[in-house]
Structure 1
Amino acid sequence: MKYTKATNYALHIMAYFVKQEGKDNLSLQPLASHMNISPTYLSKILTQLVKADLIQSTPGVNGGYSLRKPKTDISFYDVIQAIEGSGALFTCEMDENRGCHIEKVMRDAEEKMVNHLKEKYIIDIV
């Protein structure tokens, strides 16, 4: 199983936000420079994190991005779901009429992974 590069960046971005929490809003250009990500790509990731209510965007001269959700409540799963969505990692394309035993094993494994990621918080690694 492999997550996208956007998920990798999003997890690092959220860890940075948790470290910086309470400081001024973080603006796009300095954040892109610090994370070594193009501003355009970073903007797309930040938009997804805003839509997931993990961070908020404040317009204006003193605007930027800041945490919306309390830093103690942001799990790895929250961030991954914001970027990857909530679709199943495995979908059986065979045995649809009888129920796929392989899919059941894969879904059980995915459920265990999801539960693990829901119990791990970004603040725990910061």
Structure 2
Amino acid sequence: MRGVFPELLADVEAGLEGRAPLPGLDRLLAMAEEVLVTWLILQGEAVESDVVEGHWLLGLHRQGVRANPGLGACRDTCREILFRRNIARLYPEEAAQAHRLMALRVKHLAQFIGGKLDPSGLGDFCHAPLRLDRLDMV
């Protein structure tokens, strides 16, 4: 199993590794929204259609934080997804790099939320819960 969002992660990773085209900008945004909608549903929340600063993604994030304040950590990731999308659409000379960076942020969001939903697959990195059984106590 590849975590909570296996198909989404596989599509993004294939694009980032050059095995397939990167999902388009609109598809990447939809993927990010799908991750937050999944979070809300699994938290027992009804998904609202609130828009914050002109974006449903930020509305979903705000609703998610109300359901669980721990989701606040991915606020900047959501904002960067939108920022990179805007750069890719407005500046053709920056489009390829911005598209790739947007894909990386969507991947990060899926991994972060996936780790909150199923922490059993987390390794040792900054978002992993502290595991006292792995510490060398002297």
Return the index of the structure with the highest Cα Rg. 1
Kindly indicate which of the two structures has a greater share of residues assigned to strand. Answer: 1
Provide TM-score, normalisation by structure 1: 0.32
Provide TM-score, normalisation by structure 2: 0.30
Greater RCO (Cα-Cα under 8 Å, separation 6 or more): 1
